């Protein structure tokens, strides 16, 4: 059962101020939630075709608003006037505070790198990534110069980093052993995406533990000599079943989301036996 709230003709310059828009809906839904006996609140979003936004921008905008809410108050419901691509895949991820972003790859999982430039998009596997700074959150990934991913990342100055779960092993291996130069791997392998809230990058959530959107930091020497690309993380989110409040919880209830670690030749191990270090009595 959902509460219904009707709002008529509120005009936002939302293309420019998505933070204000997210805050506004946060306030409205928070208020309704308090006064509606904890009923879920559903919003229907109207998009004015004449307002000059592209469908991608619109999708990215509302994904941002919904991801920012993060507490399940706003579920979905998009009245899509004028475009056929509605937000069919709603994010169930929760935002990760950027000061905790490094923890998403601290333990060295195999990740997926997604890219988009013009009308091309792509995804590949990468075993070699690591955090290099907490604040601002910065990471490094080895992306070989022969890959299509490197070409798109260099052209757009951005990439997405996905932390796939064990339920993604076959797909992770498949996108790491094919090139996107001639195929759209998302389409070819049937991989659903959402649009990143800040950079609009294609991000994957099904059977994945987390994602980040990253802006490349230009370092021509390390890129040329070592294929090592540095980037700043500008948004991050995780599946709360395995990562919340800045911490991983790995147990038998979330096996498909356990991160994967490549041993070579298509063999992976799951990170599944969590142990907590205890103080040593002396």
C-alpha Rg value of the chain to the nearest Å: 20
Query: For residues 22 and 143, which CB has a smaller minimum distance to ligand FMN in the complex?
Result: 143
The residues that bridge with 210 in the sheet, in sequence order, are 163, 238
Q: Is 244 in the site for ligand FMN (CB under 6 A)?
A: no
Indicate which single residue of 45, 67, 127, 209 sits in contact with ligand FMN (rule: CB under 6 A).
Answer: 127
The residues that bridge with 270 in the sheet, in sequence order, are 260
Is 180 in contact with 170 (CB distance < 8 Å)? no
Is 84 in contact with 47 (CB distance < 8 Å)? no
Indicate which single residue of 60, 116, 122, 158 sits in contact with ligand FMN (rule: CB under 6 A).
Answer: 122
Query: For residues 153 and 237, which CB has a smaller minimum distance to ligand FMN in the complex?
Result: 153
Indicate which single residue of 48, 88, 177, 245 sits in contact with ligand FMN (rule: CB under 6 A).
Answer: 177
Residue by residue, DSSP assigns 141-170 as EE--TTSHHHHHHHHHTEEEEEEEBGGGHH
Q: Is 58 in the site for ligand FMN (CB under 6 A)?
A: no
* Residue 61 DSSP label: H
# residues contacting ligand FMN (CB under 6 A):
20
Q: Is 186 in the site for ligand FMN (CB under 6 A)?
A: no
Q: Which residue of the chain is nearest ligand FMN when measured via CB?
A: 176
Q: What are the residues whose beta carbons fall under 8 Å from the beta carbon of 24, sequence distance 6 or more?
A: 12
Query: For residues 58 and 173, which CB has a smaller minimum distance to ligand FMN in the complex?
Result: 173
- Find the distance separating the first CA and the last CA of the chain, reported in whole Å: 58
Identify which range of 56-64, 143-151, 161-169, 218-226 contacts ligand FMN by CB under 6 A.
Answer: 143-151
Identify which range of 11-19, 54-62, 117-125, 242-250 contacts ligand FMN by CB under 6 A.
Answer: 117-125
Identify which range of 63-71, 174-182, 195-203, 241-249 contacts ligand FMN by CB under 6 A.
Answer: 174-182
User: What whole-number distance in Å separates Cα of residue 129 and Cα of residue 229?
Assistant: 9
Structure tokens at 106: 């601290």
Q: Closest approach of Cβ 97 to ligand FMN, in Å?
A: 26
User: What whole-number distance in Å separates Cα of residue 142 and Cα of residue 248?
Assistant: 25
Q: Which residues bind ligand FMN (CB under 6 A)?
A: 110, 122, 124-128, 142-144, 147-149, 173, 176-180, 262
């Amino acid at each position: 059962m959902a509460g219904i709230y009707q709002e008529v003709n509120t005009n936002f310059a939302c293309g420019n101020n998505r933070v204000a828009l997210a805050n506004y809906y946060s306030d409205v839904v928070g208020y309704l939630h308090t006064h509606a006996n904890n009923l879920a609140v559903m919003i229907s979003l109207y998009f004015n075709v004449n307002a000059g936004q592209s469908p991608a921008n619109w999708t990215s905008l509302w994904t941002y608003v919904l991801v920012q809410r993060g507490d399940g108050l706003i579920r979905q419901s998009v009245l899509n006037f004028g475009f056929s691509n509605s937000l069919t895949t709603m994010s169930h991820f929760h935002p990760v505070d950027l000061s905790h972003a490094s923890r998403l790859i601290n333990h060295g999982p195999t990740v997926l790198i997604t890219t988009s430039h013009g009308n091309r998009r792509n995804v590949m596997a990468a075993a070699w990534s690591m955090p290099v700074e907490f604040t601002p959150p910065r990471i490094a990934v080895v992306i070989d110069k022969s890959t299509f991913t490197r070409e798109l990342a260099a052209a757009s100055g951005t990439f997405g980093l996905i932390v796939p779960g064990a339920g993604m092993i076959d797909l992770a291996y498949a996108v790491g052993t094919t090139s996107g130069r001639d195929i759209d791997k998302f389409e070819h392998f049937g991989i659903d995406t959402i649009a990143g809230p800040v950079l609009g990058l294609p991000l994957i959530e099904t059977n994945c533990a987390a994602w980040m959107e990253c802006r490349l930091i230009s370092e021509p020497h390390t890129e040329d000599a070592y294929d090592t690309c540095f980037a700043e993380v500008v948004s991050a989110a995780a599946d709360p079943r395995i990562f919340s409040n800045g911490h991983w919880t790995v147990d038998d209830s979330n096996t498909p989301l356990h991160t994967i670690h490549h041993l070579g030749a298509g063999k992976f191990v799951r990170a599944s036996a969590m142990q907590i270090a205890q103080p040593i009595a002396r």
